[in-house]
Amino acid sequence: MILYFYEAVVLVMASTITGVAIGMFVGYTITLQFCLVLDNKVTIFFPWQQFAIIMILTFICAFLSTVGPTYVLTKK
């Protein structure tokens, strides 16, 4: 059961980190173009609180998606 949980955590964490990295890259590119057109200073903001909430929710989802079905299968 723990092995399935670890597998789900690795998959979800990798997907989350990849999604955040791609989102930051696209957001930075759009912000850079916007600031270049308007001749503004480029500022980068990363929402750490939202990132922490997302990471906590990924652990919860990984736990719920593996422990319940695995528990049912091991009881059969």
CA 56 to CA 37: how far, in whole Å?
Answer: 38
In contact, 1 and 71? CB cutoff 8 Å: yes
CA 65 to CA 61: how far, in whole Å?
Answer: 6
pLDDT at residue 19, rounded to an integer: 92
The residue with tokens 């916007």 is 34
CA 16 to CA 25: how far, in whole Å?
Answer: 14
pLDDT at residue 8, rounded to an integer: 86
pLDDT at residue 23, rounded to an integer: 93
pLDDT at residue 62, rounded to an integer: 85
The tens-digit pLDDT sequence of the chain (76 residues) is 888 888 888 898 899 889 999 999 999 999 999 888 888 888 888 889 999 998 898 889 888 888 888 888 888 7
pLDDT at residue 74, rounded to an integer: 82
